[in-house]
Amino acid sequence: MNLENYNEAISYADTAFSNDNYELALEWYKKALAENPDDLYALSRAGTVCVPLDKYDESFGFFEKALKIDPENGDNYYNMGNAYFFHADFGKSLEMYTEAEKRGCSEDVAPKLYYQLAMLCSVRQDVKGALINFQKYEEADKTNVAALDPSVISEKIKLYMFAEDYENAEKCAAQWVAVAPGDIRSYMVYFSIQMANSDLDGAEKTITDAEKYADLTPDDEISVAVNKAALYTAKGDLNNEEAAEYQQKAYDILTGLRGSNKYDEEKKREISLTLAELCVKMGRFDEAIEAAKTVIPPSELRKVEVAAAAPSDAGADLTDAEVDNMLASDIDAIDAKKSSGELSDEIGEYAEVYYDEDGNPVRQYDDEVLNGSTIDGSASKADTENNASAPASEKAAEVDNDRVYFLLLSCYAAKEDFKEALKIASYIKHSDNDYYAYFGRYTEAYAMKKLGMPEASKKYDEGIAFFRSRMLKSSGNNYAVIFRARMYAEIGKYAKAEEMANLLTEADKNGMMEYISECKNENPAQ
């Protein structure tokens, strides 16, 4: 062995490795091994540097050779275990780590071993095992700095949150802020936990400290401001006397952000939606509607108009003959789709069937059957082509549209603009979110009733049967109970409404009983 060449190769390799130049480092470690093929240091470093290069076969080769040379060295098993860990072969990784612990590792490797074991436990959601190994990691660390490692603290927070141990999660979050006062993530995690625990004063201090001490990017500034607005909104919810003051503080923050040109369109949509939801709380419904409509691309709003065109255009002045004509037109449309092969002859099999309290079937076809969708609920060819031609900017504007539609529906209902409410309700009743869908189905019937539409009675029958089926399907479905009770009260079936109300919690029951009394007062004849 040429010692000078070996030392030079190791020096160059270590320098390249420390500068993350892994390809060059591997080249020099191989040169060192050419001088001394059995050198454990060079074998270990060469195997390690292969991992970030995704050269796992080479990595295993280097480590296997190291194990043959010194099979009792725990560090060699640890290194092999790491290669398997990053190769996502967790079974082999655990096997190697276990062997490493059994044989014992060097002072600087032992803490790393327990850290990796903790991460393995975390992968399989073994909270207790992960926390024990993190404790071993801290105890094995002779430098006493392991307990201050932000990555460990943040991982422990996740574990405590998963175990719903919020007290210890909050302690860890406070430690993270203490050891990483410039890291915005530490403040945001601490803030979120405090908000969840209703520690609003603590959350306010945390978010204020984040503004003062954290290193903030423009996106971070938005997150801090939006969270501060959420804090003030929450304070207003808990303090009726100062609600208006807190809501105004939140409003000022969000309108200031919305008027800035510093942020991209995606961030502006996020701000607009948060502002719209705040405006609902403040009773500024027109402003909420304006803000919400900026969040959804025009093509999405057009879908609502198209889907709801038929029911929204129907009015209170329709005669029985006109209603019959509308029904006949619907039947003709279905027959035409069946003749063309667009719909199956067994269309009735696809209708939703609910049963009222008397056991009578109530059959309901989705609006999409007559509005251009296929029977399986997928978009028609025309809809697909229209969507494909939408501007790229609209396609990129991915937002939770149903959340926005629900907000719009709430505003129109509060404004008693039942024509607009009906449009949104007819659309959102198909949401995957149960509450949005329930509210949409209920509001559709209620809006029809308020508009004096002859179809309202049928919609109430369908709605009551629907909510009954949901109650039977899932016990404890309070949303279904509440909407069913409201619908009974609105059509004068007060005994049934009270029967539903008695199933609720005391607070919800009292509120429902008040609503039933209001309905009785409005319709004394019933």
Q: Rounded to an integer, what distance in angstroms lies between the CA atom of residue 42 and that of residue 30? A: 8
- Give the pLDDT score at 420: 94
Contact 99, 72 (CB under 8 A): no
- DSSP 8-state assignment for residue 379: B
Torsion of CA 355, 360, 361, 363, to 10 degrees: -100
pTM across the whole model: 0.63
Long-range CB pairs of 51-57 (<8 Å, 24+ gap) are 51/82, 51/83, 51/86, 52/22, 53/22, 53/23, 53/26, 55/26, 56/83, 56/87
- 327 closest CA partner among 311, 316, 340, 339: 311
The C-alpha atoms of residue 77 and residue 101 are separated, in whole angstroms, by: 9
Q: How far is CA 298 from CA 267, 400, 518, in A?
A: 18, 15, 39
The DSSP output letter for 367 is G
CA angle 6, 10, 12 (to 5 degrees): 115
Three-class SS state of 355 = strand
Spatial CB neighbours of 21, under 8 Å, sequence gap ≥ 6: none
pLDDT at 30: 93
CA distances from 161 to 150, 167, 169 (A): 16, 9, 6
Say how many residues make up the chain: 526
Interatomic CA distance for residues 187 and 155, integer angstroms: 15
Q: Is there a contact between 152 and 134 (Cβ–Cβ < 8 Å)?
A: yes
10-residue averages of pLDDT along the chain (526 residues): 89 93 94 92 92 92 93 92 91 93 92 93 90 93 87 91 91 94 94 93 96 92 92 92 94 90 80 92 95 83 66 42 51 59 47 52 47 37 39 43 92 95 92 94 96 94 92 89 96 95 94 95 74
Report the distance separating Cα 136 and Cα 114, nearest Å: 6
Distance CA 38, CA 309 (A): 80
498, 513 in Cβ contact below 8 A? yes
Side-chain-facing half-sphere of 82: CA atoms under 13 Å: 23
For residue 372, the model assigns a pLDDT of 40
Using DSSP, state whether 198 is helix, strand or coil: coil
Distance separating alpha carbons of residues 111 and 297, to the nearest angstrom = 53
Please classify residue 201 by burial: count the beta carbons closer than 10 Å to its beta carbon, then call 0-12 exposed, 13-18 middle and 19+ buried. Answer: exposed
- Work out the angle at residue 78's Cα, subtended by the Cα atoms of residues 112 and 118, and round it to the nearest 5 degrees: 45
pLDDT at 349: 41
Q: What does the alpha-carbon distance between residue 127 and residue 163 come to, in Å, rounded to a whole number?
A: 7
125 vs 132: CA distance, rounded Å: 13
In the chain the first and final C-alpha atoms are separated, in Å, by 105
From residue 103, give the alpha-carbon distance in Å to each of 78, 81, 471. Answer: 10, 14, 60
Q: What's the CA gap between 292 and 107, in Å, rounded?
A: 59
pLDDT of 263 reads: 73
Q: Nearest CA to 443 among 465, 460, 422?
A: 422
Give the separation between CA 110 and CA 74, rounded to whole angstroms. 9
Please give the Cα distance from 131 to 115 (Å, whole number). Answer: 10
Instruction: Select from 115, 88, 87 the least CA-distant residue to 100.
Output: 115
pLDDT at position 350, please? 40
